């Protein structure tokens, strides 16, 4: 007895001696395999010690492999070199599959106390190759023709399934589209331009999938939506203009174009008609004619009317008079051009100009009159003339001559001998004035607006007269500036605001002590008692001698207090003398009182020095005034430094 028969007998004897047999040692099938490929039959048991394994194929069973743990494996005829067996699970790998390997496979597995069996089926498929797509016709007429596609396979195992694609979209059966012969054919009735493809079919079986080549249809249609475009587009055109007429249509194959003027065919062909240097005799109604040589259809576009006119040219502005324009006179600006002028517009310095004030514009806007002419009328005047097909501009620069006026001389009124003299004369004038200088009646050579001298002398003191002359207007004007040359070191530089603040604070401290001393002495001498006795019986009324806060005349301080105040004010180098009302400690002055903010608003600068001004509550201000560079300065020419005097030294009103 050989090994194969002894193994089979052993399994048989074990089964009749009472071993339990288990089912489903293999999962349900079938198992798909590829011709020439490999397949693995995996059992459902976990790795364990197997005493015997037996694999068979077909009916009647043909041994694939038998295994006994004590004797080894025996491989069946036709499977040598094609199988591998897992002795712990009983799984079988079958290689180099052929079509005849398709069928039923059974396995029997014996452990120490059980036998498990199972079966499954194997189907070996040949892969698909050489998929071909064909159409009964490729060149079709839209809405007239029908196309039938067929898909074939030269090799491969059935069953086959088919998918159809138009571009990237899947084609399914619907109205006008049919699938036949198990999906192998595709029929499209009354094709449209959107059915041109490209088409392809994809054929599949359980182990492979293969697409066909692309196939594109030629679908003829049109012409449709024939349109004409004019560039540039306008209502009217000037002679000499260049125009381009372009025609387009939806058509396959592309349409051929011809051009018509007033319904008559022109010799021009093609999708574009260029009209260069167009003239008035080319005006008319233009249209294009589109023709499809395949469908034999044609279509004419909507017409476009083209009207050619002569454009405006030679715009210019003339002035009357054509000589220099002087402020206070009059001038006419006349705008003319060649061609049909429909509208005129006037502008000055880029802004629209309309009649009003000294501006008069004629009804046809041809003449612009200015009377009287002002210096502000200078500028660039522009005339814009236009008709529906063209625009022209003319410009003229108008210069109004005026002056000189608004003269002034900038410079110091006092300098020390040896210092540089710089006087600058200015005047409003167009054209720029020429200048002459006269010192104390003697003309100084030169015509510069600036007079300079590096080192001043005492003889440079006096009246400097600057005369400005406008050679166009014929006007001249003069202004005088007084300059005093002082001895070296005689002009102080003035105190800074910090120095003034320090001095005044020191003075105020001394004043505070002085007031305290004064009050003390007045109490000793009974001054306040006398004041009180004078007020008895007059409650709510002013005292007769004005000693109270509401009196008509304030009482003067005693001589000793006035002497004390004179000593204090002398420390500040004030040219005025202060006195005090003893009843209210009112600080007063004899001279130089200006009401607060009005200090720098006077037409004439106050003389230099210290000034006290009333600024309302809470007190008064001490100012240091210095002359500016002009006889009649603006606010910025007046420079002051000030320090507020505490309110206990003054009251709201100054006598």
Domains, in order of start, for the chain:
3-125 (2.60.40.10), 129-216 (2.60.40.10), 220-309 (2.60.40.10), 313-398 (2.60.40.10), 403-486 (2.60.40.10), 497-527+547-649 (no CATH)
Cα distances from 594 to residues 69, 533, 575, in angstroms, run 135, 37, 15
Distance CA 105, CA 570 (A): 138
Tell me, what's the pLDDT at 112?
Answer: 85
What pLDDT shows up at residue 88?
93
For residue 468, what pLDDT is reported?
A: 95
In order of 238, 310, 343, 387, 463, the CA distances from 339 in angstroms are 11, 7, 12, 9, 65
pLDDT at 236: 85
Could you tell me where the beta strands, DSSP code E, fall in 182-324?
185-188, 199-205, 208-211, 218-231, 236-238, 243-252, 256-261, 264-269, 272-275, 284-292, 297-300, 304-309, 313-320
Q: Please report, to the nearest 10 degrees, the dihedral formed by the alpha carbons of residues 122, 128, 133, 136 taken in order.
A: -50
The residue written with tokens 């006026």 in the block is 405
At which residue do the structure tokens 């009357």 appear? 320
Helix (H, G, I), strand (E, B), or coil: what is residue 560?
Answer: helix
CA 652-581-590 angle, to 5 degrees, is: 80
CB 149 within 8 A of CB 191: no
Average pLDDT for consecutive 10-residue bins of the chain (655 residues)? 44 41 81 96 92 95 94 93 95 96 96 92 96 97 96 94 96 95 97 96 96 97 97 88 96 97 95 94 95 95 92 92 92 91 94 95 95 95 91 95 95 94 95 95 92 94 95 94 92 55 60 59 49 33 33 40 44 33 33 36 39 41 41 34 39 32
Tens digit of each residue's pLDDT (9 = 90 or more) over 516-526: 655 555 555 55
What number of residues does the chain have?
Answer: 655
- pLDDT at residue 289, as a whole number: 97
pTM for the model: 0.46
Residue 504: predicted pLDDT: 55
Predicted pLDDT at 618: 40
Segment 491-511, tens digit of pLDDT:
865 544 454 555 556 656 656
pLDDT at 510: 58
Whole-number pLDDT of residue 581: 34
Alpha-carbon dihedral angle through residues 232, 235, 238, 239, given to the nearest 10 degrees: 90
Place of tokens 């629209």: 352
258: number of Cβ within 10 Å: 19
Give the whole-angstrom CA distance, residue 370 versus residue 355. Answer: 10
Rg (CA), the chain: 61
Calpha distance 288→556 (Å, rounded): 115
Q: Cβ(312)–Cβ(337) under 8 Å?
A: yes
Identify the pLDDT of residue 524.
56
Q: How far apart are CA 645 and CA 624, in angstroms?
A: 14
């Amino acid at each position: 007895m050989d090994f194969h028969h002894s193994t089979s007998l052993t399994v048989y004897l074990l089964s009749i001696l009472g071993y339990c047999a288990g089912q489903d040692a293999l999962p349900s099938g079938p198992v798909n395999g590829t011709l020439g490929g490999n397949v693995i039959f995996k059992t459902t048991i976990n790795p364990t010690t197997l005493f015997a394994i037996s694999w068979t194929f077909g009916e009647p069973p043909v041994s694939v492999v038998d295994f006994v743990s004590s004797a080894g494996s025996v491989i069946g005829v036709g499977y040598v070199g094609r199988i591998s067996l897992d002795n712990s699970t009983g799984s079988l790998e079958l290689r180099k599959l052929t079509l005849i390997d398709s069928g039923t496979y059974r396995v029997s597995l014996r452990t120490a106390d059980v036998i498990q069996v199972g079966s499954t089926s194997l189907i070996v498929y040949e892969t698909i190759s050489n998929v071909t797509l064909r159409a009964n016709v490729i060149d079709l007429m839209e809405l007239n023709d029908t196309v039938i596609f067929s898909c074939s396979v030269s090799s491969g195992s059935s069953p086959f399934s088919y998918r159809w694609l138009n571009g990237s979209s899947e084609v399914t059966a619907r109205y006008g589209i049919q699938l036949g012969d198990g999906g192998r054919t595709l029929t499209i009735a009354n094709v449209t331009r959107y059915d041109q493809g490209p088409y392809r079919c994809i054929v599949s079986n359980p182990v492979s999938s293969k697409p066909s080549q692309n196939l594109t249809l030629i679908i003829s249609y049109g012409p449709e939506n024939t349109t004409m475009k004019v560039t540039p587009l306008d209502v009217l055109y000037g002679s000499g203009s260049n125009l381009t007429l372009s025609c387009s249509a939806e058509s396959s194959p592309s349409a051929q174009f011809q051009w018509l003027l007033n319904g008559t065919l022109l010799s021009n062909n093609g999708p574009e008609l260029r009209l260069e240097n167009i003239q008035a005799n080319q005006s008319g109604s233009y249209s294009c004619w589109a023709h499809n040589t395949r469908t034999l259809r044609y279509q004419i576009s909507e017409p476009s009317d083209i009207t050619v006119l002569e454009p405006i040219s030679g715009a210019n502005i003339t002035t009357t008079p054509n000589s220099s324009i002087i402020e206070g006179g009059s001038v006419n600006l006349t705008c003319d051009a060649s061609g049909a002028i429909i509208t005129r517009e006037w502008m000055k310095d880029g802004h629209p100009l309309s009649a009003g004030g000294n501006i008069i514009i004629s009804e046809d806007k041809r003449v612009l009159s200015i009377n009287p002419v002002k210096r502000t009328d200078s500028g660039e005047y522009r005339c814009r003339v236009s008709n529906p097909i063209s625009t022209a501009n003319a410009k003229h620069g108008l210069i109004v001559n005026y002056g000189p006026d608004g003269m002034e001389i900038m410079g110091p009124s006092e300098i020390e001998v040896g210092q540089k003299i710089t006087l600058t004369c200015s005047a409003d004038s167009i054209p720029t004035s020429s200048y002459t200088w006269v010192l104390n009646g003697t003309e100084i050579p030169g015509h510069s607006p600036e007079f300079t001298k590096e080192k001043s002398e005492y003889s440079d003191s006096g009246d400097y007269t600057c005369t400005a002359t406008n050679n166009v207007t014929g006007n001249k004007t003069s202004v005088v500036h007084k300059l005093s040359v002082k001895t070296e070191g005689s002009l102080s530089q003035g105190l800074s605001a910090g120095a003034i603040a320090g001095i005044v604070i020191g003075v105020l401290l001394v004043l505070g002590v002085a007031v305290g001393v004064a009050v003390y002495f007045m109490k000793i001498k009974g001054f306040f008692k006398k004041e009180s006795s004078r007020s008895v019986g007059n409650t709510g009324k002013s005292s007769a001698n004005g000693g109270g806060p509401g009196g008509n005349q304030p009482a003067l301080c005693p001589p000793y207090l006035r002497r004390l105040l004179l000593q204090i004010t002398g420390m500040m180098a004030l040219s005025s003398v202060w006195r005090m009302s003893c009843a209210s400690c009112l600080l007063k002055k004899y001279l130089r009182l200006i009401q607060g903010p009005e200090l720098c608003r006077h037409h004439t600068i106050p003389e230099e020095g210290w000034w006290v001004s009333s600024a309302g509550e809470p007190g008064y201000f001490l100012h240091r005034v210095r002359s500016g560079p002009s006889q009649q300065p603006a606010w910025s020419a007046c420079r002051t430094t000030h320090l507020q005097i505490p309110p206990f030294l003054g009251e709201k009103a100054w006598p």
